[in-house]
């Protein structure tokens, strides 16, 4: 099997999102992409670039191509290269371009509101679930892998260096240290185009949805959503009086060409949840064109966008038009859902309204946690943790695929190699039996039907949603054994061994 991008990313250096396109060959394209990243501020002065070999492996180009590109940009003054210090972005003044020349309006006084912390994202089987020994439900990373030492070190540094104003009334947009760190990180890793003053810190994705749709203060429905998604989010939106309109899905993602008079659309373009496919390039462009033509907005749920295993992750949809896309992210999958920190990358026109919706300080995320996360990102510890977990989850997914091929060959994993969960496609009419068979062997998981929008008319598919990231490392083998035992028995009970699902 060819070595994948995730293996190369494990080496020394940070993740770096670059798009190589245009005339003139790979060397010219790489030089142009690096110049653009520096010129736009995505690569800040002093940022250390990956070694030649690492970047060459990431991009699928020759090592000499990267070396020549670095040398050219050093000669031009964009980069510097010193023995023992590596290649870095030159220290020069690169002011960020102002958004539109106006300062976000201060938040208006509104009634206090809960921060909207999202409970562990589970399906309806959560209530009354029989006792289980193996948890393969989606929704959390391997919490035993939380980087305790790195987090503690960042927390101590942040607390020691914190100015006095940290302990007084703060900025409802979030600490400037975290917003600056996020702007640089998202630009470098996800290709996001933004400035710190367009980022608003929140406590997670659910909190972001509440801020955007509460009382129609920022956005209003109807909201187009993907035909499969978290029922919790649909329930949250319904509680705010927002009608959701399902968009059918196929292997290329949501059918965005069916968008009509909706005021916004919510998508998971990097890795559709839960079915697992990315949004095709033509549909990415089409949904942005729709938003421009109708004066609407796209909500981009950057669901586990950093966890792709077969290739380098596709850049964020937001980069196509920062004025028509709101990117929402959090650390619930990369670190832990216990760290209640998320962010919205907003078009300039929405910043003031979101801050007004945020309101009282009780709805703000912990300032000290914000400072700790800012330090974790700036120190490179966050990059190292994500790469380490990317390697671990890739290994677990590979083990799942191999075990199914051996013991239940008529069941396949659908979607791209990415994320913290997999969907196992089942023969028609077998989903309920498969869930019960798994429960009988002490395995907790969800059926795909639990994520289906009740109003969609797309054909239903039987499947299991398996959270392979959830168990601790030492518990995963037993959980996989129990799951395969249940599916092996299920396949044996099907006429002629069942039908292969692709």
Domain locations in the chain?
5-89, 148-378, 383-497
Please state whether beta strands 443-444 and 134-135 pair in parallel, antiparallel, or not at all (unpaired): parallel
* pLDDT classification of 122: cutoffs 50, 70, 90: very low
Specify whether the CB–CB gap between 390 and 307 falls below 8 A: yes
CA distances from 51 to 16, 34, 55, 291, 309 (A): 11, 14, 6, 39, 21
* pLDDT classification of 494: cutoffs 50, 70, 90: low
Strand pairing partners for 463? 425
Distance CA 149, CA 257 (A): 48
Region of poorest pLDDT, from 29-38, 173-182, 453-462: 29-38
* Length of the chain counted residue by residue: 502
Could you please state the CATH topology (level 3) that the domain comprising 383-497 is classified under: 3.90.1150
Distance CA 463, CA 448 (A): 5
pLDDT at 312: 73
pLDDT at 117: 38
Region of poorest pLDDT, from 36-50, 373-387, 421-435, 474-488: 36-50
Residues 12-68 pLDDT 10s:
356 777 878 766 688 888 988 898 888 888 888 888 888 888 888 888 888 889 988
Region of poorest pLDDT, from 249-253, 384-388, 479-483, 491-495: 491-495
pLDDT at 23: 66
pLDDT at 14: 64
Q: Would you tell me which CATH number, out of the four given (1.10.8.50, 3.40.190.10, 3.40.640.10, 3.30.70.20), belongs to the domain 148-378?
A: 3.40.640.10
What is the average pLDDT value for the chain, to the nearest integer? Answer: 84
Here the contacts of 141-144 (C-beta below 8 Å, separation 24 or greater) are 141/332, 141/333, 141/334, 141/335, 141/336, 141/389, 141/420, 141/469, 141/470, 142/389, 142/392, 142/393, 142/469, 142/470, 142/471, 142/472, 142/473, 143/336, 143/338, 143/472, 144/472, 144/473
CA–CA–CA angle 173, 95, 189 (5° rounding): 65
Question: Are domains 148-378 and 383-497 of this chain identical in fold?
Answer: no
User: Does CATH number 1.10.10.10 belong to domain 5-89?
Assistant: yes
Q: What is the DSSP letter of 168?
A: S
Distance CA 233, CA 223 (A): 12
Task: Evaluate if residue 192 carries a pLDDT over 90.
Answer: yes
């Amino acid at each position: 099997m060819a070595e994948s991008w995730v293996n190369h990313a494990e080496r020394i250096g940070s993740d770096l999102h670059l798009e190589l396109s245009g005339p003139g060959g790979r060397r010219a394209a790489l030089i142009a992409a690096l110049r653009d990243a520096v010129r736009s501020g995505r690569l800040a002065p002093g940022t250390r670039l990956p070694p030649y070999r690492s970047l060459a492996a990431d991009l699928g180009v020759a090592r000499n191509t990267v070396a020549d590109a670095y040398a050219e940009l050093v000669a031009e003054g964009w980069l510097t290269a010193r023995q023992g210090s590596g290649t870095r972005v030159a220290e020069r003044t690169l002011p960020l371009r102002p958004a539109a020349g106006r300062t976000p309006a201060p938040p208006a006084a509104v009634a206090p509101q809960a921060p909207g912390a999202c409970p562990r994202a589970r399906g309806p089987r959560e209530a009354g679930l029989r006792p289980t020994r193996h948890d393969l439900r989606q929704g959390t990373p391997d919490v035993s892998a939380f980087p305790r030492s790195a987090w503690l070190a960042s927390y101590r540094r942040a607390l020691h260096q914190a100015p006095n104003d940290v302990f007084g009334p703060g900025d409802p947009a979030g600490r400037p240290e975290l917003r600056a760190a996020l702007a640089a990180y998202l630009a470098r890793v996800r290709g996001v185009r933004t400035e710190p003053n367009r980022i608003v810190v929140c406590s997670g994705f659910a909190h972001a949805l509440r801020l955007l749709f509460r009382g129609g203060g920022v956005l209003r429905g109807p909201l187009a959503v993907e035909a499969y998604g978290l029922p919790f989010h649909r329930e949250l939106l319904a509680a705010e009086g927002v009608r959701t309109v399902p968009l059918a899905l196929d292997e290329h993602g949501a059918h965005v060409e069916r968008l009509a008079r909706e005021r916004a659309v919510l998508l998971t373009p990097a890795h559709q949840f839960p079915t697992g496919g990315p949004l095709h390039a033509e549909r990415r462009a089409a949904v942005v064109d729709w938003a421009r033509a109708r004066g609407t907005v796209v909500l981009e749920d950057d669901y586990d966008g950093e966890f792709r295993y077969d290739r380098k992750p596709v850049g964020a949809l937001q980069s196509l038009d920062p004025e028509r896309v709101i990117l929402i992210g959090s650390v619930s999958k990369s670190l832990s859902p216990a760290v209640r920190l998320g962010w919205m990358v907003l078009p300039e026109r929405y910043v003031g309204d979101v801050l007004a919706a945020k309101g009282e300080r009780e709805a703000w995320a912990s300032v000290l946690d914000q400072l700790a996360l800012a330090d974790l990102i700036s120190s490179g510890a966050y990059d190292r943790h994500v790469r380490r977990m990317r390697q671990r989850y890739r290994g677990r997914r590979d083990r799942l695929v191999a075990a199914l091929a051996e013991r239940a060959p008529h069941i396949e994993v659908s979607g791209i190699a990415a994320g913290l969960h997999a969907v196992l496609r089942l023969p028609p009419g077998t989903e309920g039996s498969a869930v019960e068979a798994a429960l009988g062997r002490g395995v907790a998981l969800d059926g795909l039907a639990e994520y289906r929008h009740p109003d969609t008319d797309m054909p239903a598919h039987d499947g299991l949603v398996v959270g392979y990231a959830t168990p601790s490392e030492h518990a995963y083998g037993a959980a996989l054994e129990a799951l395969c035992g249940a599916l092996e028995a299920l396949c044996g009970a099907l006429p002629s061994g069942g039908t292969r699902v692709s």
